[in-house]
Copies of this chain bind each other. A is one copy, B any other.
Amino acid sequence: MLDELKIVRQLGAVFPGGSDVLTGIGDDCAAVRAPANPLLVAADQVIERIHFTPETPPEKAGAKLLLRNVSDIAAMGGTPRWAILTLAVNGRDEKYIMDFCRGVAEAGSRYGVTVIGGDTASLPSAGVAATLTILGEAPSGGAITRDGARVGDYLYVTGKIGNSFLSGRHLDIEPRLKEGQYLAQRHLASAMLDVSDGLLLDAARLAAASHVALQIEPEKVPLFPGARAPEAWSEGEDYELIFTSPEKLETLGKTLVPICCWGRCVAGDGELLDKTGKPFQSERLGYEH
């Protein structure tokens, strides 16, 4: 049995709060000053043997959980602010939990995220399951959703993809927060999402939500060392941003990650097409966790 009160006291030091936090860890609810713009909310889970291995250091697993959620805020063009963490564990000691929480806190501090509350509970069998809910603020012009792509828009992706899991990069996600904010502030993106489950699958989701088809050339997308096409197009865990824009863009500026134009929106309803307009042939589109 975990000593939840003791853990909560220790977490107060790991998660020190912030000036916008009116009531932090240790009460029935946290209370924060509500932002002026709309509130963004997302949640993700990491589960041992599904999203990380028993050998993964708990700091890394905690950091991954936080960073996956920051990537969701990035995909709306928003700014992350606060997080709520719940942990269900069995067969792990307090040190494991504290190390996991330190990983969350350290990664959060890099992106301006304060952990303001949560819960710990027991699992009936050995393992770790953690959920993080992230709260953020939408950009002034409104969040960039995945349903705004129009026929004629260009299709882009940030950075490089592939080989995320085997290289261990899936634990050291670099959420494309500045890139998402850049696109939002300049009203450049008509639709956007992040690549969690595979380049092709997430592109198909954007197409379906926007009721367009995408004529794609994924062979144009740069790959990480060790990655191979076509596998890299469906491996997932890339956490790059897929977005569409009516503008033909070459770059988001010198300080941001390079982008690649790899397709165009055409008439349709969620289909992926090759450059000749035929259905895109792929053994699989992505990976559902």
| Interface residues in chain A, defined as those with a beta carbon under 8 Å from any beta carbon in chain B | 1-5, 22-23, 26-45, 47-51, 71-73, 75-76, 78, 82, 84-86, 88, 116-119, 121-125, 127, 129, 131, 133, 135-136, 138, 142-143, 145-147, 192-194, 205, 209, 288-289
Contacts and interface: CB of A to CB of B under 8 A. Distances in A.
Given A23-B143, A27-B145, A39 B32 contact: yes
B123 A124 contact: no
18 contacts: A1-B288, A4-B288, A28-B73, A28-B76, A29-B76, A31-B138, A32-B41, A33-B39, A34-B39, A41-B82, A41-B135, A43-B133, A45-B88, A45-B119, A47-B88, A47-B122, A124-B127, A135-B135
A24 to B, nearest CB: 10
Contact of A50 (B30, B32, B122): B122
Interface centre among A45, A75, A118 (most CB of B within 10 A): A45
A29 B40 contact: yes
Contact of A26 (B30, B85, B209): B209
A270 to B, nearest CB: 11
A35 B50 CA distance: 37
Contacts of A39: 31-34, 39, 135
A50 B123 contact: yes
A285 to B, nearest CB: 11
Given A121-B289, A127-B124, A289-B121, A32 B43 contact: no
A64 to B, nearest CB: 13
Contact of A28 (B26, B88, B124, B146): B146
A83 to B, nearest CB: 10
A288 B3 CA distance: 8
A128 B8 CA distance: 25
Contacts of A37: 34
B30 A288 contact: no
Interface centre among A48, A73, A133 (most CB of B within 10 A): A133
Contacts of A194: 28
B50 A29 contact: no
Contacts of A73: 28-29
Nearest to A39: B34
